[in-house]
């Protein structure tokens, strides 16, 4: 009986070790070169993300930038790190970064009210459990929803 219990417990523990558990969303304050900071919710549906940090200042100004409407991934200093860089509007204050499988990252800006069409470079470093091939990542930058007036209770645009 004891041997069966120990074997069953070992099976359960082995199963837990290989189970990927998505982490709770976290929010980073991501500055831009111009304009306001963006509150970026990081949603990891894979459980593979270990850490995330916003890039700012000189580190951001020396990072190669994408063209408007694009997001790019640069290899980090270790095989597990990736730097994502994108252009948002200067007045975007919220967004969501979703890792939906180990090879796909989507950034979806939150809705905004009015805005000058000034581009604002933003970047985050992501650290994963295992190696990531930055050039092979599927990257998607969602459209920005422009509103004529704020959504009641959302605090958008002011």
Mind giving me the DSSP string for 56-106? -HHHHHTSPPPPTT-EEEEE-SSTTEEEEEEEEETT--EEEEEEEETTEEE
pTM score of the predicted model: 0.75
* pLDDT tens sequence across 41-91: 999 999 999 999 999 878 887 888 777 668 899 999 999 999 999 988 888
* pLDDT tens sequence across 82-109: 999 998 888 888 999 999 987 899 999 8
Of 110, 87, 107, nearest to 35 by C-alpha is 87
Of 106, 116, 112, nearest to 140 by C-alpha is 106
């Amino acid at each position: 009986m004891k041997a069966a219990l120990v074997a069953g417990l070992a099976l359960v523990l082995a199963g837990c070790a290989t189970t990927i558990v998505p982490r709770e969303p976290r929010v980073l304050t991501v500055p831009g070169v111009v304009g306001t900071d963006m509150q970026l919710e990081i949603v990891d549906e894979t459980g593979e993300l270990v850490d995330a940090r916003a890039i700012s200042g000189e580190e951001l100004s020396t990072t190669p930038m994408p063209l408007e409407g694009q997001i790019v991934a640069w290899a980090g200093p270790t095989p597990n790190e990736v730097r994502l860089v994108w252009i948002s509007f200067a007045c975007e204050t919220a967004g969501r970064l979703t890792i939906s499988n180990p090879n796909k990252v989507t950034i979806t800006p939150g809705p905004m009210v009015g805005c000058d069409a000034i581009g604002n470079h933003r970047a985050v470093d992501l650290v994963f459990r295992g190696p990531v091939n930055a050039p092979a990542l599927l990257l998607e930058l969602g459209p920005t929803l422009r509103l004529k007036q704020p959504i009641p209770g959302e605090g958008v645009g002011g």
